[in-house]
DNA sequence: GGAATTATGGCTCGG
DNA sequence: CCATAATTCC
């Protein structure tokens, strides 16, 4: 009896095929992690491969950690030497060693999106760019996309041709890169781009890593982007032992540059690639899996496949529609409380999934009220909080004084009486002398018209210098406590004594415990705990990584965060057209946007093992406005016979005066299901007897602006209107959705 | 120079 | 609605 006997034939084939390129098309819940871990075990135990020569790239740190543990269980302690990490942490480790070859300092800092925005704001000011016209966020998004595709500022400028806007973006991009470099900082995208650049420029470095990583595995391959693909193919170019695992139906990160072509075209790039499909699902009941299959079948662009399972049929899916989001949350939390009360489930077995982070609030409030432990994944990052950022910027300044952003942030925190005027004068001097902001502070007496501020600046510099020298001997925790102590940060908050200040102190305590646990972890691994090591780790940690399976809490998260996870009981909330699918993609002129949204729905459904509950609200408060939404089209794509509408049980007490009679809501739900998918009952309603505009009329569209109607074609469900817009050109759209207004 | 108050504008999704 | 920017006031 070997450890491989428990695997099914295609799984075994994937494990034993170790040489050459391999594409594993692994459907949801088909045991791909088992395959990967057994494959690593097989390489080590049977093929005699040194664990040191294996690289496995996962999507999150949490997945990496789990994989390592499972390999350990199979092979003994050898798992520790396998390099299992995310793309970003892999790149950081390489860059810490070699980035000086690209003219950076090896102690670079990593900028998060807040830092990026601050930097961008400054650049726009410097270049006299009107941030009303070019939004920082939008500029950064364009730059990020360029980096995903490995386009340099020069290339962007060349590609721009006569396009003034593009040229402007290229100019900002160039300036932004220069600023990063002079701050000795890298953004997230740079981690990948600079590593690839390093490989391309330094053959010896690439070669050493090619020799090291003789066997490479990449998980969640459908969500890799172009630069990640380049990184992997460079590494695998020598030995060609590249194994990628993915599922094109679960590709949900196009907005972040993910290139679905990487998986769809794998066989084209590697003609000798072996392809193995894993289609048996071990996770979900038949009902859940069938629902998922039916929904995803509505997508046109996909590799045809159908998952099957030997699991029991299980319960039908539940669907409930409520008057508003308030009642929806009350029902979901009530249902979870009931499961716990009746010992049917632990909290940790339940997950509430939604489309946007903003939806978490209602559920959080109900959890608090019902005294149910919960954890929200994502949303406002712990490290984005003011008090945490302040303290981290002290640590960053101590670690890398070239980081102007960090230095400027703490210069007057706590208040030292150094204001904007002084900062501007020092900055001008620094720019003029071409030195860092901190170096300018150190020679503040040279700065013109610095006046009374000189004393205060000298005090600050002395303070930082003393911390810097202490950092040589102190542990990370000690230096953090020293900062808190000497700045009086916590003392000040204590004096404030408000609910808010107490929460801030709690956060600071949590930060201290994070440095402590970092030091413990490093000690356990026999690595040195350093300040830059700590800063790097927290820069790369994702919220999902902090989920503790030993704690009994309900998990609240977005569908995106739920990727790769599974739960016995799943609640998909906010199943409304306009929420999910989001209105953005309903109105999009790119039909693949809707397909990606549907894949997201597929991911959501396939997270559930035993029971899946879908909920929606008739009216919902979005950004302070009431929206009236129809039940999501995705719900309508699920065959009626797989769904139970819950008319017999009325568990939740009607809480609001305007609760509809059960009969009414039942009728509404029946109506939703009466039509088969895509006969789309609700669309017919929107088809007006006639339109109030005709060919040749000028109309206004909510997104595209003003245009002239060119053509109107009467279709089965709706009128198809062709409009020539002033700004975006000719678009075809359905009258029911487009909400065109005659002007 | 700093705090308080008013105006504004933005929500997908994340490492 | 809620966080942040801009503006005003001290």
What pLDDT band is residue A686 in, cutting at 50, 70 and 90? very low
Alpha helices per DSSP H over A347-436: 360-370, 386-399, 404-411, 420-433
**Residue–nucleotide distance: A472 CA to B13 C1' (Å):** 41
A137 touches strand B (CB under 7 A): yes
A27 labelled binding-site residue? yes
Integer Cα distance of A224 and A229 in angstroms: 7
What pLDDT band is residue A26 in, cutting at 50, 70 and 90? very high
In the block, tokens 């005294």 appear at: A371
Strand B, nucleotides < 7 Å from a protein CB: these are 1-3, 9-15
- Give the burial string for A444-455 (b: 16+ CB within 10 Å, else e): beebeebeebee
Strand C, nucleotides < 7 Å from a protein CB: these are 1-2
**Average pLDDT in the A85-111 region?**
94
Measuring CA to CA, how many Å separate A551 from each of A58, A375, A548? 24, 10, 6
Q: A698 or A628, which is more confident?
A: A628
pLDDT in tens, A121-165: 888 888 888 877 888 888 999 999 999 999 999 999 999 888 888
Highest mean pLDDT among A111-120, A344-353, A521-530: A344-353
What pLDDT band is residue A423 in, cutting at 50, 70 and 90? confident
Helix A476-487 crosses helix A386-399 at what angle (to 10 degrees)? 120
| pLDDT reported for residue A589 | 82
**Residue–nucleotide distance: A354 CA to B1 C1' (Å):** 46
| pLDDT reported for residue A703 | 61
A31 labelled binding-site residue? yes
Q: How many CB atoms lie within 10 A of CB A121?
A: 13
What would the two tokens of residue A426 be? 């020092």
**Average pLDDT in the A567-574 region?**
96
Which listed residue (A148, A187, A219, A593) is catalytic? A219
pLDDT in tens, A400-419: 899 988 998 888 888 888 88
Q: How far does Cα A243 stand from its chain's mean position? A: 24
| pLDDT reported for residue A693 | 78
Tell me if A631 sits within 8 A of A665, measured CB to CB.
no
A89 labelled binding-site residue? no
Which listed residue (A228, A250, A422, A477) is catalytic? A250
User: What are the φ and ψ backbone dihedral angles of A111, each rounded to 5 degrees?
Assistant: -90, 130
In the block, tokens 């590709």 appear at: A251
**Residue–nucleotide distance: A460 CA to B1 C1' (Å):** 17
| pLDDT reported for residue A180 | 93
Which listed residue (A32, A68, A408, A610) is catalytic? A32
Tell me if A91 sits within 8 A of A228, measured CB to CB.
no
Angle made by CA atoms A323, A327, A332, in degrees to the nearest 5: 130
**Residue–nucleotide distance: A132 CA to B8 C1' (Å):** 12
**Nearest nucleotide to A187, CA against C1' atoms:** B15
**Residue–nucleotide distance: A16 CA to C4 C1' (Å):** 56
Tell me if A254 sits within 8 A of A229, measured CB to CB.
no
pLDDT at A726 over 60: yes
3-state secondary structure of A75: helix
Integer Cα distance of A675 and A678 in angstroms: 8
Integer Cα distance of A707 and A725 in angstroms: 4
Integer Cα distance of A270 and A117 in angstroms: 39
Integer Cα distance of A700 and A723 in angstroms: 10
**Nearest nucleotide to A580, CA against C1' atoms:** B12
Residue A254 a catalytic site member: no
A422 touches strand B (CB under 7 A): yes
**Average pLDDT in the A28-46 region?**
94
What pLDDT band is residue A736 in, cutting at 50, 70 and 90? low
Residue A409 a catalytic site member: no
Burial of A619 (0-12, 13-18, 19+ CB in 10 A): middle
**Average pLDDT in the A577-589 region?**
88
Which listed residue (A78, A115, A220, A596) is catalytic? A220
* Cis preceding linkage at A401, omega within 30: no
**Average pLDDT in the A526-554 region?**
88
What would the two tokens of residue A642 be? 């797989």
Integer Cα distance of A495 and A195 in angstroms: 47
How much is the mean pLDDT over chain A? 86
**Average pLDDT in the A591-612 region?**
95
pLDDT at A511 over 80: yes
**Nearest nucleotide to A625, CA against C1' atoms:** C1
| pLDDT reported for residue A648 | 37
Integer Cα distance of A254 and A674 in angstroms: 34
| pLDDT reported for residue A673 | 43
* Cis preceding linkage at A395, omega within 30: no
**Nearest nucleotide to A585, CA against C1' atoms:** B12
What pLDDT band is residue A659 in, cutting at 50, 70 and 90? very low
What would the two tokens of residue A739 be? 């909400």
pLDDT at A509 over 70: yes
Residue A650 a catalytic site member: no
| pLDDT reported for residue A677 | 33
What would the two tokens of residue A10 be? 């295609």
| pLDDT reported for residue A507 | 85
Integer Cα distance of A61 and A89 in angstroms: 9
Which listed residue (A385, A563, A607, A620) is catalytic? A607
**Residue–nucleotide distance: A514 CA to C7 C1' (Å):** 40
Footprint of strand C on the protein (CB under 7 A): A 361, 621, 623-624
Residue A46 a catalytic site member: no
Q: Within 262-321 of chain A, which residues have Cβ less than 7 Å from strand B?
A: none
pLDDT in tens, A72-84: 888 887 778 899 9
In the block, tokens 């350990």 appear at: A72
Integer Cα distance of A699 and A702 in angstroms: 10
pLDDT in tens, A324-356: 999 999 999 999 999 999 999 999 999 999 999
Residue A250 a catalytic site member: yes
A160 labelled binding-site residue? no
**Nearest nucleotide to A378, CA against C1' atoms:** B14
Q: Within 619-638 of chain A, which residues have Cβ less than 7 Å from strand B?
A: 622-624
Angle made by CA atoms A659, A661, A667, in degrees to the nearest 5: 120
What pLDDT band is residue A492 in, cutting at 50, 70 and 90? confident
A251 touches strand B (CB under 7 A): no
A401 labelled binding-site residue? no
A33 labelled binding-site residue? yes
What pLDDT band is residue A679 in, cutting at 50, 70 and 90? very low
Measuring CA to CA, how many Å separate A441 from each of A3, A396, A493, A547, A739? 63, 16, 28, 42, 58
Tell me if A502 sits within 8 A of A387, measured CB to CB.
no
Of chain A, the percentage scoring pLDDT greater than 90 comes to 56
Measuring CA to CA, how many Å separate A594 from each of A11, A252, A614, A701? 32, 11, 19, 20
Tell me if A220 sits within 8 A of A59, measured CB to CB.
yes
| pLDDT reported for residue A680 | 29
Strand locations in A581-727 (E): 608-622, 625-628, 643-644, 698-701, 705-714, 719-725
What residues contact residue A1 under an 8 Å CB cut-off, 6+ apart?
none
Residue A403 a catalytic site member: no
**Nearest nucleotide to A358, CA against C1' atoms:** B11
A452 touches strand B (CB under 7 A): no
């Amino acid at each position: 009896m070997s450890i491989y006997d428990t695997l099914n034939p295609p799984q075994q084939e994937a494990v034993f095929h170790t040489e050459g390129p391999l594409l594993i098309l692994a459907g949801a819940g088909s045991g791909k992690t088992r395959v990967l871990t057994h494959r690593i075990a097989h390489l080590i135990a049977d093929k005699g491969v040194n664990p040191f020569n294996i690289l496995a790239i996962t999507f999150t740190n949490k997945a990496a950690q789990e994989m390592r543990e499972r390999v350990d269980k199979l092979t003994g302690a050898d798992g520790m030497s396998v390099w299992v990490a995310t793309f970003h942490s892999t790149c950081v480790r390489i860059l810490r060693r070699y980035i000086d070859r690209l003219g950076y300092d090896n102690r670079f800092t990593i900028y998060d999106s807040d830092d990026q925005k601050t930097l961008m704001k400054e650049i726009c000011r410097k270049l006299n760019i009107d941030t009303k016209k070019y939004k920082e966020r939008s500029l950064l998004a364009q730059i990020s996309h360029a980096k995903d595709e490995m386009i340099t500022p020069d290339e962007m400028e060349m590609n721009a041709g006569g396009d003034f806007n593009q040229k402007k973006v290229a100019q900002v991009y160039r300036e932004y890169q220069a600023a990063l470099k002079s701050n000795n900082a890298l953004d997230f995208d740079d981690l990948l781009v600079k590593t690839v650049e390093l490989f391309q420029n330094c053959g010896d470095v690439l070669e050493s890593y090619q020799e090291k990583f003789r066997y490479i595995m990449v998980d969640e391959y459908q969500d890799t982007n172009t630069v990640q693909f380049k990184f992997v193919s460079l590494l695998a170019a020598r030995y060609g032992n590249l194994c990628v695992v993915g599922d094109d139906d679960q590709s949900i990160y196009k907005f972040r540059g993910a290139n679905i072509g990487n998986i769809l075209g794998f066989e084209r790039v590697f003609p000798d690639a072996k392809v193995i499909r894993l289609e048996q699902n071990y996770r979900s009941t038949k009902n859940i899996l069938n629902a998922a299959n039916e929904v995803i079948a509505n997508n046109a662009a996909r590799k045809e496949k159908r998952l099957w399972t030997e699991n029991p049929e299980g319960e039908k899916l539940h669907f409930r529609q409520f008057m508003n989001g308030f009642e929806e949350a009350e029902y979901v939390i009530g249902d979870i409380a009931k499961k716990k009360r009746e010992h049917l489930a632990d909290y940790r077995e339940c997950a509430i999934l939604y489309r946007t982070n903003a939806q978490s609030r209602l559920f959080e409030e109900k959890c608090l009220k019902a005294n149910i432990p919960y954890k929200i994944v994502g949303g406002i990052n712990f490290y984005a909080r003011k008090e945490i950022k302040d303290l981290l910027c002290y640590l960053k300044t101590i670690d890398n004084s070239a980081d102007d952003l960090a230095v400027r942030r703490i210069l007057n925190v706590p208040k030292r009486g150094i204001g904007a005027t002084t900062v501007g004068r020092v900055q001008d001097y620094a720019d003029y002398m071409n030195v860092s902001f901190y170096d300018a502070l150190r020679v503040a007496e040279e700065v013109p018209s610095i006046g009374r501020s000189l004393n205060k600046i000298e005090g600050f510099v002395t303070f930082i210098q003393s911390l810097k020298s202490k950092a040589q001997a102190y542990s990370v925790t000690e230096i953090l406590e020293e900062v808190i102590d000497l700045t009086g940060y916590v003392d000040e908050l204590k004096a404030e004594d408000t609910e808010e200040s107490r929460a801030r102190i709690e956060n600071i305590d949590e930060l201290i415990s994070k440095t402590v646990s970092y030091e413990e972890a490093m000690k356990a691994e026999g690595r040195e705990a350093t300040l830059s090591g700590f800063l790097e780790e927290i820069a790369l940690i994702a919220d999902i990584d902090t989920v503790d399976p030993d704690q009994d809490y309900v998990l609240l998260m977005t569908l995106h965060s739920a990727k790769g996870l599974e739960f016995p009981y799943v609640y998909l909330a906010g199943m409304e057209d306009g929420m999910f699918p989001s209105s953005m993609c309903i109105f999009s002129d790119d039909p693949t946007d809707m397909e990606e949204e549907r894949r997201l729905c597929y991911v959501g459904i396939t997270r559930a093992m035993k029971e899946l509950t879908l909920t929606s609200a008739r009216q919902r408060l979005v950004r302070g406005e009431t929206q009236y939404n129809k039940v999501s089209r995705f719900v309508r794509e699920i065959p009626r016979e797989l769904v139970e509408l819950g008319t017999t049980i009325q568990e939740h007490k009607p809480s609001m005066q305007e609760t509809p009679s059960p009969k009414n809501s039942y009728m509404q739900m029946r109506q939703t299901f009466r039509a088969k998918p895509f006969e789309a009952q609700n669309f017919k309603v929107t088809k007006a007897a006639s339109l109030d505009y005709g060919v040749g009329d000028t109309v206004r569209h909510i997104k595209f602006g003003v245009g002239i109607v060119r053509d109107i074609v009467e279709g089965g469900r709706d009128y198809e209107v062709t409009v020539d817009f002033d700004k975006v050109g000719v678009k075809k759209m359905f009258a029911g959705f487009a909400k065109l207004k005659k002007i």
